[in-house]
Structure 1
């Protein structure tokens, strides 16, 4: 079963825009899990423009599914992970001023650095995932590092989806097949939504997890959080006319 991890960064963005504690990030995480989410994802950045360090500590005892923390492994981030010890850490090479993550790691160039980080987290019992583009060389590099999983950056897939679905998904299928052969778990995330998620899943049904935030929270404004989570979970199923 492919798990749905809900990224709640946008909830924190809304709260921070006004100050105070409305909406309450912890309560939303609790509700997401109650409504069927299989995990909670946060991506704390150095400027704390959405998720704050305090949020991560507040969430830790309340996430009873899986807690996935994404981020660039700076010394501060590594220190945070060692204190929280989430289920999974996803290493993302985003710059401090990036609006959102927009590319994966060069796992060849940064092999030594990533190997040290992955080894440190794994020694603490934390599952590790490396954010990568659907590039076969980078996936082989991730395998050489010893990570548990990769997360495929699906921004380009979402961008091309409406123009040519088959062309959009093809490099991801090839990448996921290689990852599977190499013994890597495969996660996916970025710009996945109710329109493109099922097509992606049907072509890569062995996905371990999808992490979705922006589109899911936008849909929840219209549909409500409970119905939205159920709709996304339904996308992670084969159509009835298929096995």
Structure 2
């Protein structure tokens, strides 16, 4: 019921982050959000770290992509920044991928963080090479966004918790504006 209310009241792009559960896909096909991002729902659907395992689940994922495309939805996969996952996402017909940035966000030191930035940059390049639109998200904050935002090729970042937490102090409009200002400052031309 909530997603149906959102569909009728939201004046901006509605991105439904959802599992590949058949009942959830049916709801999405009825509601027709602008975009559906397929995410893992349980341990069996997760890759080593946190993305949806589109390789292991290719049959079920492929069916969901076809059904969602059939009602006009843009379909994205929330995956780890791994070449094989990116390639399979393209083969399954996804329009976009959201690369899991948790490895970067949870890095223990600068060296580990630098390594994940290089991995993310390679993954973005791979996604573009395979014809995918590339988004990023997980654990991104006002304090850590700069190195990831500087990677060319990202078109969107999904940032929630840090913006909502900041909005408690400055209001939602200002919290969003602050993040947008940072992204505009750091994003390559």
What TM-score comes out, normalization by structure 2 length? 0.89
Could you tell me how far apart the structure 2 residues matched to 1:198 and 1:141 are? 29
Whether the aligned pair in 2 keeps the contact of 1:198 and 1:237 (CA below 8 Å) is no
The unaligned stretches of length 5 or more in structure 1 are 1-53, 97-101
Deviations 1:90-117 (A, max 9, x none): 0011229xxxxx6112222211211111
Aligned partner of residue 184 in structure 2, secondary structure: coil
Whether the aligned pair in 2 keeps the contact of 1:72 and 1:94 (CA below 8 Å) is yes
Could you tell me how far apart the structure 2 residues matched to 1:148 and 1:161 are? 33
Q: List aligned pairs for 1:7-46, cutoff 5 A.
A: none
Aligned partner of residue 78 in structure 1, secondary structure: helix
Could you tell me how far apart the structure 2 residues matched to 1:143 and 1:212 are? 24
Q: Which residue of 2 aligns with 1:119?
A: 66
Deviations 1:29-87 (A, max 9, x none): xxxxxxxxxxxxxxxxxxxxxxxxx2211111121220000111212211210121001
- Selected match of 1:198 from 134, 139, 146: 146
Deviations 1:9-36 (A, max 9, x none): xxxxxxxxxxxxxxxxxxxxxxxxxxxx
The unaligned stretches of length 5 or more in structure 2 are 44-48
Q: Which residue of 2 aligns with 1:66?
A: 13
- Selected match of 2:36 from 59, 68, 89: 89
Could you tell me how far apart the structure 1 residues matched to 2:108 and 2:6 are? 34
Aligned partner of residue 8 in structure 2, secondary structure: coil
What TM-score comes out, normalization by structure 1 length? 0.70
Aligned partner of residue 237 in structure 1, secondary structure: helix
2:115 counterpart of 1:174: no
| 108 and 74 in structure 1: CA distance in 2 versus 1, 3 angstrom threshold | same
Higher RCO (CA-CA < 8 Å; seq separation 6+)? 1
- Two-structure CA RMSD over aligned residues (Å): 1.9
Whether the aligned pair in 2 keeps the contact of 1:161 and 1:196 (CA below 8 Å) is no
Name the count of aligned residue pairs: 183
